[in-house]
Amino acid sequence: MAAVLGKCARLSAAVSRNVSPFSGLLGVQGISARVSRLHTSPGKLTAKFQKGRHQKVLLGGVAAVAGVGVLVYFKKSRFWILHAASGELQGGDRKAGLPEYSLKDVEKHKGNGSRIWVTYKHGVYDITEFIDLHPGGEKIKLAAGGSLEPFWHLYAAHKKPEVYEILETYRIGNFKDAGKVALKDASDPYRFDPDRHPALKRNTEKPFNAESPPELLVDNFITPSSLFFVRNHLPVPEVDMKKYRLVIEVQGKKPISLSLQDLKKKYKKHTITATLQCAGNRRKEMSSQRPVKGLSWTFTAISNAEWSGVLLVDVLKAAGVSLDDPKNCHVQFEGLDKDESNNPYGASVPIEIAMNPFREVLLAYEMNGEDIPTDHGYPVRVICPGIAGARNVKWLSKIVVSPDESPSFWQQRDYKSFSPSIDWDTADFSKSPALQDFPITSAICVPSAGQKIDGEDGEITLKGYAWSGGGRGIMRVDISADGGKTWQVASLQKPGQRPYQEWSWTLWEVDVPIPEGFKGNMELICKAVDSSHNVQPDSVAGIWNLRGLMNNSWHRINVEVN
C-alpha cells in the first residue's frame, strides 16, 4: 500500500503542476489499487481507502492509459484510481452454477429502498455498493432495474476488457430472459410502436411521450437519436414503403405524387442542424402556479439533431406554387398517424415561411446521418426550424397549399396561447393565432434538483441549454445563486450558424462559487438573452395560460450544500 500511495503522490503532484502524470503509472499495473479517492490542495495530500471491492466505473467519465489497463478519472483537483486490469475478459457470458433471474426480478431492484440491479447480456449484477463511487455521478442510476447495453452503445469506452473485468466482480446471477422479445397484441393500435431507450423519461406509454434525461442531454451538442425526446399524439403508423407516396396538392393544378426515391433523385439534398422543442416543455412548472391541461413535461422535451432532406421551397416551386397567388396563404401538412375516427394528425405554417429559402423548411428523410427512426417520422418528416414542435409533422403523407390553415384539431383547437385571465369557460380558440416561432428559453440540466452538493468542492458546475425560435441566436446566459441579486455569465458552446439562421441550441457551462462555510439550501437560477435582446421573464405568473404552453420563465432549481 505504501508503494501505491507513493505513486498516487507523484500523480497528485503532476496534476498540481498541470502536466501529464501517466509516465509514473506503469508500475501500478497488476497492483490491487485500493486508493479510491485522492484530494489535492496546497500542502495537503489525503487518501480515502475503500475496504471492499476496488472502485470501478460503469457509465462514463474515465480515461484509459493505453497499454496499461489503468483507469483514471479526473475532475478538477481530484482524481480516482479506478482499476488496474489485466486479461481479455468478455463480460456478460452465461456462467454455470449461478442463480437465474427474470426481467421481473431485475425490475424490482431499482433502488428507493431496494438493491440496485442491472443486466448486461446474460449477466445480472448488483451494483448497489458502487453507486456512491461512480465518477460519472448519478447517471448510472438511469440503468437501475434494466440493461446496461443501451447506455454502453452511447459510451463506447466501456467496451474494454478492463471494464468487463470490473463488471464481473458485481455478478450475482444469469439473466434468463436475455434475447426474449415480448409478443404484441395484433388488435392493439399501438402494436407498430418501436422499442425505446430505457433512459427516456416516460410521460405516457400510449401514445408514447418521453423526455430526454437531463444528465445525458447536455453531454452532446447533437442529441443521439435514441435519446431525442418523443412527442406522439397518436399510434405510430405502419408504413408500406412499396406503396408510400407523398402527395402535393395545389389549387387549380394536378396533384403530384412522389415516392421517397423521387424526393432523393429529383431534388437537391440539403442538411441543417436544428433544435426541436415541444410547445408544452416546462408545463409542470406552469401547472404549479395554477393547474393546466396537458402532459406534465419537465424541462427536457427538447433536443438537437442534424436533419437531411430536400427544401420544401424547391418542391413547392416545382409544383407551380407562387407567392404572387393570393390564394396561396398556408401550407398544410398531414401525417399517416390517425385517430379512432380516421382523422390524420395535421398542422400548417404560413406560406411566407414555407416558401422562404432563408427559413430552410425541410422535408427530412435522414436524422443524424441515418434514415429517420420510426418514432421521429420515418420515412419523411417536416422540419420547420425555429417553430413549435407541433408543426413538424411526422410520417408525412400530404402537403396542401391552401387559402386556409390546417383544419386539424391540433391547429384549430390546440397549441394556442391565451391571457392568464382566460380560462376554459371563456377561451375562444377561433380568435387566438396558432403558435409558430418559439420565444427565448433556457434550463439547468446539471446538477439535478435536490441534488446533494459537497461544499468542500468550493464550487458547483452548472450545465444547461439555451434556445430561441425564429433563427435568433443566444447572446448571453446569466446564472444566479442568490435569488437573482447577483449574476454570473456562463461560457457558451455556440452552434456556429449564420446570424438569424441559428436553428440549434446553445449549450452552456459555468462554475458557481460556494461561499465559504455555506451549508443548506441553495437556489440556482438561469436566464438567457437572444440576439434580438429578448429576455426570459422572471416568473410564470405573467405568462400562465390554460394549456401550459411556451413556459420560458427563469429556470430555478434548489440543491442541498453539505
Q: What is the DSSP letter of 129?
A: G
- Which residue's entry shows cell 503542476? 17
Grid coordinates standing for 442? 433556457
| Pairing status of strand 330-338 against strand 344-350 | antiparallel
278 among known catalytic residues: yes
Contact call for residues 36 and 50 (beta carbons, < 8 A): yes
Type of residue at 242: K
Peptide bond into 357 cis (omega under 30): no
415 among known catalytic residues: yes
User: Catalytic pick from 101, 270, 278, 365?
Assistant: 278
Alpha helices in 136-271 (DSSP H): 149-154, 161-168, 214-217, 260-266
SS3 at position 507: strand
User: Catalytic pick from 54, 83, 109, 134?
Assistant: 134
User: Catalytic pick from 83, 122, 231, 556?
Assistant: 231
Cα separation, 284 vs 148, whole angstroms: 30
User: Catalytic pick from 158, 270, 330, 556?
Assistant: 158
> Angle 319-321-325 (CA atoms, 0-180°, nearest 5)?
155
> Angle 400-401-406 (CA atoms, 0-180°, nearest 5)?
65
Contact call for residues 278 and 302 (beta carbons, < 8 A): yes
Q: Of 511, 446, 495, give the one whose Cα is nearest residue 218.
A: 446
The backbone region for 277, taken as left when phi is positive above 0, alpha when psi lies in -120 to 50, beta otherwise, is beta
Exposed / middle / buried, residue 267 (Cβ in 10 Å: 0-12, 13-18, 19+): middle
User: Catalytic pick from 101, 164, 170, 415?
Assistant: 415
158 among known catalytic residues: yes
Active site positions, annotated: 134, 158, 231, 278, 415
